A and B are shown apart, each in its own frame.
Chain A
């Protein structure tokens, strides 16, 4: 495989002294789509927040592009190219769609290319163009997710962290979102994705890690996972 863009080694993290992540180790090679699956409350979002710099790990190491980035704040991580599209979108509700997108391109490097890049985003997500002057809080769930993705893409990161992109959406909307993710993958983007269920990612991901009570309990390809139904049975209740 290609060189590793992101390496997580022996990561421990938690809240108020309560550990949530226990000794996590995995890599994300450049250009790959790596997925982490696991039930709710087992540390998927905590891991994403840790990598993106919103939460400081207790111990362990995060390396990005060959440099140690453990514990750097979020604003520093995004300037280095780590972009999190967070769970629940975290939009700016009282700002227009286009202002939300502008915030995505807040850093100087991204801002310089905003007018060019935003057209590309509008081409990919035409709904955002139609609604560009509307307040973000008036959007539907699917449109919000698209806005969160568009906003994240405008940051121009080297790796996209997607935290449960299917959460709370109708199946038909999930299809649209995964179509977008598939396109991003085709463009050669490096993606780290977490989901509760393996349904959508079994064919899509290069490698899948199964997370249970804060540790990786199994990893392999989608085909391997399908070949071992007892694993899904054990950890995800089938």
Chain B
């Protein structure tokens, strides 16, 4: 029974972190076919921004956190203007943008390495050392914060996409760019906004991740890979599916880690994804165009 509880506690935490980064990645891909390889670096950057504002600038944590998120949003906007903006109308956008963002990602990571060095930092924004017990399983308050934050953000993104005028424009652009333009949507504004939003979600995810482990310049690599796995598992561009798939992957990883061994978590996910893709090539929630003529 304790095993079970442990899996749930740890799996939901992983799921919450994965969902934030995967939903961001999926939104960007779904909106304009941009496979953002700098997503992981922006995650890392967001986590470091907390340190920059807190340690270096002497802000309180309550100020440093929102400032870090604003900086992440700005980073997303800059990312758009130094890469996608110039490539959108050119040939092979989806390949070019991948290569460009890989470059940007390397530059960002190297910059962080130069500025902060390779040794790990502790994320100041963490309640990891405070916990309570449920049936002999320790649950840190940090996990509660992560669950609540992820829940609020996901509900917020859901409401934004389904109920607001601009959110509808985002979905419309993803479904048919030309038609959205015909409705008067300035699609480039949509792209900038989506990248900014995705970067904020990535930063939150990065802060969460570093609050459970530690801050390292290269910490974004593995979560980026997992976010990719999640959105492929869900079906590319399916934002709601990415949310469910993230939680599923989190729970699966936790189950394997608890029951088999920590080092088997990631291989187990990969095997699971391969099996799912054999069974459903378009992903769990992906759909080949279903149309009634």
Contact = CB atoms under 8 A, between A and B. Distances in A.
Contacts of B178: 54, 74, 86, 90
A106 B185 CA distance: 7
B131 interface: no
Interface of A: 52-54, 73-75, 78-79, 83-84, 86, 90-95, 99, 102-104, 106-107, 111, 137-141, 151, 155, 168
B186 to A, nearest CB: 5
Contacts of A92: 171-172, 175-176, 179-180
Contacts of B290: 137
Nearest to A139: B292
A141 B181 contact: no
Nearest to B291: A137
17 contacts: A54-B182, A74-B182, A75-B185, A78-B184, A79-B184, A92-B180, A93-B289, A93-B291, A94-B171, A95-B168, A95-B172, A102-B168, A103-B168, A106-B183, A139-B292, A155-B183, A155-B184
Contacts, number: 77
Given A90-B176, A92-B176, A95-B175, A78 B168 contact: no
B292 A78 contact: no
Contact of B165 (A95, A111, A140): A111
Nearest to A141: B293
Interface residues of B, number: 22
A100 B186 CA distance: 17
Given A94-B175, A168-B293, 14 more contacts: A54-B182, A78-B183, A90-B179, A92-B176, A99-B168, A103-B168, A103-B169, A103-B180, A106-B168, A106-B172, A107-B184, A137-B291, A138-B292, A139-B292
Nearest to B169: A106
A137 B175 CA distance: 11
A138 B293 CA distance: 9
Given A54-B178, A91-B176, A104 B183 contact: yes
Contacts of A91: 176, 179
B292 A137 contact: yes
Contacts of A151: 183
Nearest to A148: B179
Contacts of B165: 102, 106, 111
A166 to B, nearest CB: 15
B175 A74 contact: no
Contacts of A141: 293
Q: Which of A52, A78, A86, A90 has the most CB of B within 10 A?
A: A90
Interface in B275-293: 289-293
Interface in B136-165: 165
A103 B172 contact: yes
A4 B185 CA distance: 28
